[in-house]
Amino acid sequence: MHVRVSAVDVSRPAPEAFRRSITVFTREDDGRYRRDEEVHDNVYLPTAQVPPLLARHGVDATLGTSFGSETLPEGLMTVIGTRR
């Protein structure tokens, strides 16, 4: 079983498009994690556009204002997706 975990960054770079380097940890079948560095070209989207965009790629996503028992600061939202 492979589990993919991506880091989350809530900073707000400018302007409307930006490039970000992230670290991705993939859990291998033997329980160890493999670390990879990735570079992503990003654009800002209105939050409501994210679930339909993900749905076109086989992911059911819901929007929320909390993660677990933690409520996010005003203006921040979660997008939690599950691949079909």
Lowest-pLDDT range of 8-12, 39-43, 52-56, 58-62 = 8-12
CA angle 32, 3, 55 (to 5 degrees): 165
Burial class of residue 81, CB neighbours in 10 A (0-12, 13-18, 19+): middle
Delimit the domains of the chain by residue range.
Answer: 1-44, 45-84
Between residues 39 and 14, the one the model is more confident about: 39
**pLDDT value for 19:** 82
Confidence of residue 10 (pLDDT cuts 50, 70, 90): low
pLDDT of 55 over the 90 cut: yes
pLDDT of 79 over the 80 cut: yes
